[in-house]
């Protein structure tokens, strides 16, 4: 098999949760640009319709399904609809997630009362773990239900560099969910390997997306994030496309249980000010 065939996803049926914007939309767009039949799933009806319309103008094979990933019933109905219409599901991006608000450090650098550990409410904990972790579990379950009978499939979970490190400015429930999703991905990879289903994760650093929209798009916060990154910038969603295509294609046939970091070197630590270039 040559390299062109390795990355061939033509006519693959691809589902992307949280697909109406950001990293999810970029993953779906990458698949559609390479000939896959893509279904974007999202709870935001207006944003979903806008995303589908924008891609269809380019004659890409894209449709949308409104779904709440925190409800397995909702997700199961959407997966069944897609499988019935398209004849199966080959690739699933478990991407849906939401910003949980600030952590114990507020945006101005002061200590946040609301984000303090002892003030995390039961309602907050259940809500955000239900989406950011429960949504991953439900997506893995539905993907497995449709892929195991045919003995093949690709599942890609969006985690975060929050799986590896902690910062005070991001809510505690976000770190808990992403770290758990990372381990859940590996457990699923172990269980599903015998069915020729590869399960991997993409762990992004700072991207200009809606989930980070509460702070990344604030100019002073963006400057701090850019200055702390060895590449002196944050990423645009399109920069996820190459990795998404790799993990969705036969090029990753012997990769499973891996969590691939795409963060511009952020986990390495700061390098220099970037004020001068050699």
Catalytic machinery residues: 174
Cα 140 from Cα 124, distance rounded (Å): 23
Task: Answer whether 229's CB lies under 8 Å from 235's CB.
Answer: no
Element (H, E) at 180: helix 172-192
**Whose CA is closest to 90, among 6, 155, 5?**
155
Cβ partners under 8 Å of residue 28, min gap 6? 14, 16, 19, 38, 40, 55, 62, 93
Q: Three-state DSSP class for 15?
A: strand
Q: Provide the 10 A C-beta neighbour count for residue 21.
A: 20
């Amino acid at each position: 098999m040559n390299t062109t065939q390795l990355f061939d996803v033509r006519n693959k049926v691809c589902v992307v949760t949280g697909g109406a914007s950001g990293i999810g939309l970029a993953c779906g767009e990458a698949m559609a640009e390479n000939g896959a039949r893509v279904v974007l799933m999202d709870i935001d009806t207006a944003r979903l319709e806008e995303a589908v319309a924008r891609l269809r103008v380019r004659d890409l094979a894209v449709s949308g399904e409104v779904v709440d990933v925190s409800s397995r019933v909702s997700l199961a109905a959407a997966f069944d609809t897609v499988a019935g219409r398209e004849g199966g599901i080959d690739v699933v991006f478990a991407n849906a997630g939401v910003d949980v608000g600030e952590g114990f450090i507020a945006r101005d650098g002061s200590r946040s009362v609301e984000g303090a550990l002892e003030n995390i409410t039961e309602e907050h904990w259940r809500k955000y773990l239900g989406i950011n972790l429960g949504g991953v579990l439900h997506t893995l379950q539905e993907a497995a239900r449709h892929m195991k009978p045919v003995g093949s499939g690709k599942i890609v979970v969006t985690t975060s560099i929050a799986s590896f490190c902690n910062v005070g400015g991001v809510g505690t429930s976000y770190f808990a969910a992403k770290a758990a999703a990372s381990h859940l991905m590996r457990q699923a990879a172990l269980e599903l390997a015998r069915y020729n289903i590869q399960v991997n994760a993409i762990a992004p650093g700072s991207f200009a997306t809606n989930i980070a929209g509460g702070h990344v798009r604030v100019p002073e916060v963006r400057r701090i994030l850019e200055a702390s990154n060895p590449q002196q910038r944050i990423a645009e969603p399109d920069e996820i496309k190459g990795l998404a295509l790799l993990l969705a294609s036969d090029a990753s046939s012997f990769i499973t249980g891996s969590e691939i970091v795409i963060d511009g070197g952020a986990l390495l630590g700061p390098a220099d000010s970037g004020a001068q270039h050699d």
